[in-house]
């Protein structure tokens, strides 16, 4: 079921050159601008090298950029570019529409979908 939804989102984001995974990553970066790479890896539960490849992909499209943390030079912070925020707005709207249609086909109500999304929301520390 989740693969079918992911494929639909991937298809809808194809012209933006994003996937469901990179869209979710961009979502975290936009929502937590200046997030540390290690925090992203923890939130996504993926290894640092995998995250680096995904962030590199977004950076090559000028959607995000990295800066060294001026308070701790060992940390790298990831920021959304203006273009990244604009692309994210389009991508997230498409993804929400697809998710709503998908859940409606399964018979889920808006309240049930909202409850599921609240459960899946990343924790802020």
pTM: predicted TM-score of the whole model, two decimal places: 0.78
Residue range 30-88, pLDDT digits in tens:
999 999 999 999 999 999 999 999 999 999 999 999 999 999 988 999 999 999 999 99
In 1-124, which residue ranges form alpha helices assigned H by DSSP?
2-13, 20-31, 37-44, 48-60, 82-105, 110-120
Average pLDDT over residues 84-109: 86
Show the tokens assigned to 98. 């697809």
> In angstroms, rounded to a whole number, what is the distance separating the alpha carbons of residues 116 and 121?
9
Give the β-pairing of 35-36 and 64-68. Answer: unpaired
Q: In terms of pLDDT, which residue wins out, 17 or 101?
A: 17
């Amino acid at each position: 079921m989740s693969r079918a939804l992911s494929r639909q989102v991937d298809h809808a984001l194809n012209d933006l050159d994003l996937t469901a995974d990179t869209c979710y990553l961009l979502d975290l970066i936009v929502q937590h601008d200046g997030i540390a790479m290690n925090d992203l890896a923890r939130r996504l539960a993926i290894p640092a090298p995998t995250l680096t490849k995904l962030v590199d992909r977004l950076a090559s499209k000028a959607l995000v950029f990295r800066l060294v943390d001026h308070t701790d030079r060992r940390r790298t912070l990831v920021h959304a570019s203006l273009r990244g925020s604009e692309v994210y707005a389009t991508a997230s709207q498409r993804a929400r529409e697809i998710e709503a249609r998908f859940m409606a086909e399964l018979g889920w109500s808006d309240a049930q979908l909202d409850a599921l999304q609240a459960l899946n929301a990343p924790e802020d520390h």
